[in-house]
Amino acid sequence: MKFSSFLHFAAFGVKTILFRGKKPILGTVIITDKCNLKCKHCSVNNITAIMHPYEKVKGEMEQLYQMGVRILFFCGGETFLWRDGDKTLRDLVIEAKRMGFLIVNTVTNGTFPLDLPEADLILLSVDGNREKHNLIRGDTYDKIMENVKNATSDNICFYMAINQLNKETVRDVCIAARDTKNVRAVSFNFHTPYPDTRELALTKEDKAACCEVIKQMMKEGAPVFNLKSAFPYLIENKFPTPCHQCVVIEDGKVSVCGRCIDVPGLCEECGYFFVAEYTLLFRGNLKVVFEMLFTYLKYV
Ligand SMILES: C[S@@+](CC[C@H](N)C(=O)[O-])C[C@H]1O[C@@H](n2cnc3c(N)ncnc32)[C@H](O)[C@@H]1O
Ligand code: SF4
Ligand code: SF4
């Protein structure tokens, strides 16, 4: 991360903590909900299957920038499917950097060739070892690992949503992140139980066991892009929600925190680690503040 970016985030953090600010810093643009997969745990694919046009997405990026957002995520659906004429995801990332976003990331299922050196991080979903990943995501594991090996940059961070089907394979994903070329780290979420995937929800005991494995793997040198100081809050679902420093825009609609904000009761069962990490950070939780500094400087 550039020193000037670090100063911007530090100033934002201090102001937000001292004045209990509610301005956003992290924004996500949903560029399409079209997807080539139909994962067992996912409730947001192919509802409209619309690819939002370049000028519309660009306008949404400008809107987020005006709101103060400086960390931008592109999400879907599948982001690498996105096209408008000859424009691709890469043009969106380049445009976001030109606009002045300080960190630009994308989330992908990794089934398309990975040629996106301009992104700070490519969050690439790996949902377990080959067997469990394929159970959840169809027969894609080998294709994904081939794409990772052939990627044109080393900006990949594995992204695992832990649920009832893959909870025993957290260790395998940590090892794969440590030992695979072009992979910088792994980041986790717990399953957030939308009404149609409640059966995949983890119990408190499951979450505690997963956090123990992640902590152990961190000790053994696995590159985990999460904060262990937030684990006790994630296990108990005792972090403040929603996150006011995060916004998402989809088809012109801005929501605080996540597109899931309108699902009744879901925030009390939220499994997204970033929500716990950011809300605790901006409440001034000192352990989280220091660990966040260390972790972001290491991986971004
Ligand atoms: C909706 S996908 C979109 C990007 C891309 N298609 C992918 O799979 O990475 C974004 C991330 O959300 C995760 N996800 C989907 N449903 C979830 C849920 N109910 N709880 C937690 N994570 C979930 C996916 O596993 C993926 O890592
Ligand atoms: S690849 Fe991503 S968007 Fe597509 S179904 Fe899976 S989790 Fe959902
Ligand atoms: S706190 Fe609520 S809106 Fe935010 S990500 Fe979690 S479930 Fe979605």
> Tell me: the pLDDT tens digits for 149-178?
999 999 999 999 999 999 999 999 999 999
Is 58 a member of any domain? yes
The model's pTM? 0.97
- Ligand 2 pocket test, candidate residues 28, 30, 34, 37, most atoms within 8 A of CB: 37
The pLDDT of residue 251: 97
The pLDDT of residue 239: 97
Is 5 a member of any domain? no
Is 15 a member of any domain? no
Is 234 a member of any domain? yes
The pLDDT of residue 6: 87
Of 18-22, 41-45, 293-297, give the lowest mean pLDDT range.
293-297
Is 7 a member of any domain? no
The pLDDT of residue 290: 93
Total number of domains in the chain: 1
Mean pLDDT rounded to a whole number for the chain: 97
Range of the domain at 251: 26-299
The pLDDT of residue 298: 84
Is 89 a member of any domain? yes
Q: Which atom of ligand 3 is nearest to the CA of 263?
A: 7
The pLDDT of residue 299: 83
- Whether ligand 2 lies within 6 angstroms of the CB of 189 is answered as no
Is 9 a member of any domain? no
Average pLDDT over residues 112-132: 98
Average pLDDT over residues 291-298: 88
CA-nearest residue, atom 6 of ligand 2: 39
Average pLDDT over residues 49-56: 98
- Whether ligand 3 lies within 6 angstroms of the CB of 242 is answered as yes
Q: Residue 300 pLDDT more than 80?
A: no
CATH number at residue 101: 3.20.20.70
Is 13 a member of any domain? no
Confidence of residue 254 (pLDDT cuts 50, 70, 90): very high
Distance 189 CA to ligand 2 centre (A): 14
Written in H, E and C, the secondary structure of the chain is CCHHHHHHHHHHHHHHHHHCCCCCCEEEEECECCCCCCCCCCCCCCCCCCECCHHHHHHHHHHHHHHCCCEEEEECCCHHHCEECCEEHHHHHHHHHHHCCCEEEEEECCCCCCCCCCCCEEEEECCCCHHHHHHHHCCCHHHHHHHHHCCCCCCEEEEEEECCCCHHHHHHHHHHHHHCCCEEEEEEEECCCCHHHHHHCCCHHHHHHHHHHHHHHHHCCCCECCCHHHHHHHHHCCCCCCCCCEEEEECCEEEECCHHHHCCCHHHHCCCHHHHHHHHHHCCCHHHHHHHHHHHHHHC
